[in-house]
Structure 1
Amino acid sequence: MMETSLISLFVMALSMSFSHCVGMCGGIVIAYSSAKIHKDTSKAYQIFSHILYSLGRVSSYTIIGVVSAYVGYKISASIQAKGILFIIVGVFLILFAILYVFFPKAISYIEPSLPKNPQNILSQSFKRFFVYLMQSQNLSSFYGLGILNGLLPCGMVYFFASYALTAPSAVAGGLIMVVFGLATILPMFTLGFITGKINTSSFRNIFLKISFVLMLGFGGISVYKGISILQGKSHTMEHQMNMNHTDHHLSHQMDMQ
């Protein structure tokens, strides 16, 4: 069951990457590909550079997943809270899916652009670190750029991190984000070589539709799980009350005898 869920997550993340990731984060890939990877460098060096960048992003996503799962665990301290959390997350996933497909401009409001606030300490730190890594000739700088990219505000990260809130453990939460990160490698890796042609491809609409169906599915399943948990809690409480009433009745009969 867990394997099937992870496969579905991978397919959904892959579809979302081709229809969203390439456009939103492709600029960084194109920037470092143009500035740090020269045409005369070997293919092996180019491939390794992109792999390091991707590993950096996956590292950031994994940490986000672990933290999200831990927060979800703390929030759902009781069975009732757990059920409510599943429902809230499910509703968010469904709403996000609708905005993602039909109102894409609305997503930009939850993906704040750091350069728009140049005086912000976070923006200044990001710019300083980004410039340093772009100018560095060290191979590890690609990994650093990946980590930086993974920490940028992103609707897709919000979506999967929200799902990770319902993970049964921190490890499972991290695994969800690892699957997400791995699924984004192919589009971003390809972009490094073809500079964004995927974004204008007719396949984009196909990936968008696949993403929409899967996102609605995961949201609906989360809501269903939440309702089931709450109903199970009420049934358990009712069963316990009946058991207590039966015990009390039997005890009363024994006293009468």
Structure 2
Amino acid sequence: MTADLLSAALIGLISAGHCLGMCGGVTLALGLHSRGVGTLLIYNLGRISTYGFLGLLIGAGLHWLPPGATPVLRLLAAVVLVLIALYYLNIKPWITQLEKLALPLWRRLQPLARRWLPLRHPLQAYPVGLVWGLLPCGLVYTALGYAATQADAVRSGALMLAFGVGTLPAMLATGAFSQQLNGWLRRPATRAVIGALLLLFAVWLIVNASRML
């Protein structure tokens, strides 16, 4: 389980470039950066809470799977990691297509956050974060797919929390540092290293699953 949590956190950490592009613009548009790190942290705690809850739901929904399904679930997790690796290697930009499919649902959910805007108190950033945790994001969906392979509410929820914590460094970055981080993560060499790391994780999962057969 520890290795899975570390893998989920690493996926969140290396997803920084995508996170800055998706949620970073949201935090700027809402003025969260200008309200201080505290308000920004509260917003992100709301976002991560949503991730954890989604992981709990998907894990609870699959808890009926027999113990013998574990190797198959591990192989599915490897497939998820390979898909993310392909995105970072610029081989298959499938993530953006996945996000487009969820846009109609997001248009219905987005107005829920308006009742707390504009922010009059830092704590109002938490429910805003809860809603924005549902923002269509292919990397979140693939992380959910990884969490689903645990087929357990607590484990799946913990994996999504680990993923969310992994995204924090990028989401809390501000100003020039944020721009530098985003530029570094978009370099072809950096993306190649990230893709290679994910493929190594996938191989590890495949080997682990083969030992269980």
TM-score norm. by structure 2 comes to 0.82
2-structure distance, mates of 1:63, 1:175: 9
Give 1:37 deviation, angstroms.
6.2
Check conservation: 1:15, 1:207, Cα contact below 8 A.
no
1-structure distance, mates of 2:33, 2:19: 21
1:157-196 matches, within 5 Å, as: 157-167=140-150, 169-191=152-174, 193-194=175-176, 196=178
Distance 1:172 1:150, change over 3 A: same
Give 1:22 deviation, angstroms.
0.7
> Can you list the C-alpha shifts for 1:161-182, whole angstroms capped at 9, x where unaligned?
1221222742222221111111
Instruction: Give the letter aligned to residue 96 of structure 2.
Output: S
> Can you list the C-alpha shifts for 1:68-97, whole angstroms capped at 9, x where unaligned?
3223432x3251x33333223322321332
Check conservation: 1:16, 1:207, Cα contact below 8 A.
no
Distance 1:49 1:198, change over 3 A: same
2:84 is the counterpart of 1:86:
no
Instruction: Give the letter aligned to residue 66 of structure 2.
Output: A
2:55 is the counterpart of 1:65:
yes
Distance 1:21 1:200, change over 3 A: closer
Instruction: Give the letter aligned to residue 98 of structure 1.
Output: L
Aligned-residue CA RMSD in angstroms? Answer: 2.8
Instruction: Give the letter aligned to residue 13 of structure 1.
Output: G
Check conservation: 2:8, 2:160, Cα contact below 8 A.
no
Aligned partner (choices 37, 48, 53) of residue 38 of structure 2:
48
1:87-236 matches, within 5 Å, as: 87-103=75-91, 105-112=93-100, 117=104, 122-167=105-150, 169-191=152-174, 193-194=175-176, 196-198=178-180, 200-205=182-187, 207-229=190-212, 231=213
Partner-residue secondary structure (3-state), 1:175:
helix
Partner-residue secondary structure (3-state), 1:137:
coil
- 1:12 alignment counterpart: 11
Aligned partner (choices 8, 24, 46) of residue 26 of structure 1:
24
**Mean alpha-carbon deviation: is it higher for 147-156 or for 220-229?**
220-229
Distance 1:177 1:107, change over 3 A: same
Aligned residues: 212
TM-score norm. by structure 1 comes to 0.70
2-structure distance, mates of 1:134, 1:113: 27
What runs of 5+ residues in structure 1 fail to find an aligned partner?
39-44, 232-257
Check conservation: 2:110, 2:131, Cα contact below 8 A.
no
Higher Cα radius of gyration: 1
